[in-house]
Structure 1
Amino acid sequence: MKQISHLDDIPSTPGKFKMDKSPYNRLRWHSSLAKLTFWSFVFLALIFIFFFRSPSSSTPQALSDPSRRYLQNYSWGGAAWEKRVRSSARIRSRNGMSVLVTGAAGFVGTHVSAALKRRGDGVLGLDNFNDYYDPSLKRARQALLERAGVFIVEGDINDEALLKKLFEVVAFTHVMHLAAQAGVRYAMENPSSYVHSNIAGLVSLLEVCKSANPQPAIVWASSSSVYGLNTKVPFSEKDRTDQPASLYAATKKAGEEIAHTYNHIYGLSLTGLRFFTVYGPWGRPDMAYFFFTRDILKGKTISIFEAANHGTVARDFTYIDDIVRGCLAALDTAEKSTGSGGKKKGPAQLRVYNLGNTSPVPVSDLVSILERLLKVKAKRNILRLPRNGDVQYTHANISLAQRELGYKPTTDLQSGLKKFVRWYLRFYADGKKSGV
């Protein structure tokens, strides 16, 4: 208590402070002032050490933490850069749209960007190329899009200055928001990355979109994981989604609530798409079908999970081309936002759809298909489904998307995996990566 006794000199009510002019009190005042100055310097020194001496964005620690990546000094801006942005986003078809695709170097982002470009829409990508999985695969996708005429700006969706600049350079009519921290199990290792990307990142994007004039219509990736511990199948958009089984699921559910808020307050047109286990060429290495393929070819044992009492674990595997058609249909049917300069002028469209295949397949059957396609027998290790956020099964009811988007998946798992394996063997030919 003696250390803070000088605080007793502060009057309890606002007013002019009259200091006692006695020598003793002057000495005590100067002593307290010296202590205050000393501790201020200590505090400032700690701030300096934390912000300027902590691992910078170029260190392995920072590179492995997605929550710090947006602090990187990405190179953007300038006349040449703006020219590339405008050229990539230029609409080349009648009644086309200009779309900002976040997460454009990701699996779904690459396929959606290419499909939009092929039909003559203007497309500009945004991606931070994080190292959650092999960045070289993302760079290969980037090269693929570059050849198609799609420029990917390297930056983070939490970089407000960059987002504002992009909207200054291009009056985007639509945003396809696919940037996110993916994966269920990784959330147990790096939970902050999910909050940074899936919640803070979404808010950062919506903040810029709400103030844009005109406001763009936004389609964004939610997830089938929002159904969590729901036991009613198939999963319908009307089912409860308040029992997430993982942090990833919780952040996606939070995203849906955030979307509702920005729609209600600012008049943003928002469509959420709940993807069901997307697979295919150029896919994500952290997905089971991908690393099963890799490990089977290497002769490694693969772990196949089963539920309690030898229950089957099944997924509603959805081929990438079917997902892309659903994404484009959502963009094409999205109504205009109703706000202007951050102020709502009328009710705006708010939708959510399941995009799945409606045919859950046991994971053990997935492995059997891969064995036939690879002509290699898998070394199986059957394990109990752990408590890491994985759920026993997913099954999409797509009647709403069929009715309102004309969504109709056409690729079964056998056909889709055949295309994936063909790509995989070309891309990783002879143990080497190839962009063919």
Structure 2
Amino acid sequence: MSVTEEEEDYIQDDDEEEDDVAFSSKSTKKKIKKESSSSSNATSQQKKKFPVGTLLAVNLFGDDNYFEARLKGYNRSANSKDKNVLWANLHYLHDDKPLQNDLNLLKVIDLSKETIVEYNDDKKKVDDDDETGFLGRRIIVQWPDGKRYTGMIIKYMEDKKNFAFIKYDDGEECWYNLSPTKEKVARNEEAVSNSSSSSSSSNKNSSSSTKKVKQEIVADTDTIERKYPPGTHISVALHHDEHFYDCVVKKYLKRTKAQVEKNTKWGYVEWSEGKTSSKKNGDWIDLNFIKAIKIKPERIITLNEIDDLEEDAIGFLGNRMELKWNDGNEYVGIVTKAMKNNKYFVFLEYDDGDKCWCDLRQESEWSIVDDPKRKASAIKVETSNKKVKATYDSDE
């Protein structure tokens, strides 16, 4: 899954009329109520949705190949900004390996709720229940990395007949959607037979093709390192929730063969001052999976410049704001930086010490608490280390 730089979405000129700047009706007509139990209730609902012991199909690598895994248990995160994260211990059946994954991030299917039609190779004929004729079929599937794999369909979902479980000749097995709209190649038994009979005459071509595919994967992933070389200042959506934390890329991990196959690019980043949701100064993150943007310093305005700015250029800079994130948690903070050409994309320093960029239009609810003309010195005095109940200033 390649990461593309998306700062243009945030940096583009703001051509909206002033009337469009008005807050949503939710923000202007009512105060945000604190619900301390909201996040715990949401987590509880997810745990009820997937009880321990459930057999799941997990889109582990984000490439629409779903691997079967048994849910072994849950882990509670201690980080305040990880309320939207649900860590689960999963035992993957295809390689008999335990992993810890975030069930709120990955696409997951509860197999216990599906009626599954299976192939029985002890019978001379396929089950009468097999309306599709898929079961027992030999096919070739082309994965997103360009490689093609041969396997057999051994089961599918009765209500989603194109969603089939494929057992590949190399030992891999997973669920995949055989819908014609997918950008994959599926061939019938005759095609596989033909390809097998001509394999001896095309070994050299196949070998060079595989080598070419590997080179393309490496080249695609290495663009991340060229795009963000060590020393580059970037902002990353660490929790996959469109809240971007400032950091500096320090180094990249030399990739193993498995990491090349999975198209990952692990980089070590050092968090900027104020990154409190991570106990460490830095972390290894997959920059091919986590969204990253690079914001040029010349496109940023800060509180130090507020006295020199025209009133219409200040935007929300210097405002104390109350936000309700999409995970249901509510926070209060101060806008200390903003984009010059997009006043909605702002940098907030929260009362709990956390600091990150966000697009106000992406938040569930938001409102201004204080006078927008507050000066930096007055603002800094009022920051505290615990969240406070915010009140909306109707004069804005």
TM-score tier (shorter): under 0.3
Q: TM-score, normalised by structure 1?
A: 0.21
Structure with greater strand share of residues:
2
Structure with greater helix share of residues:
1
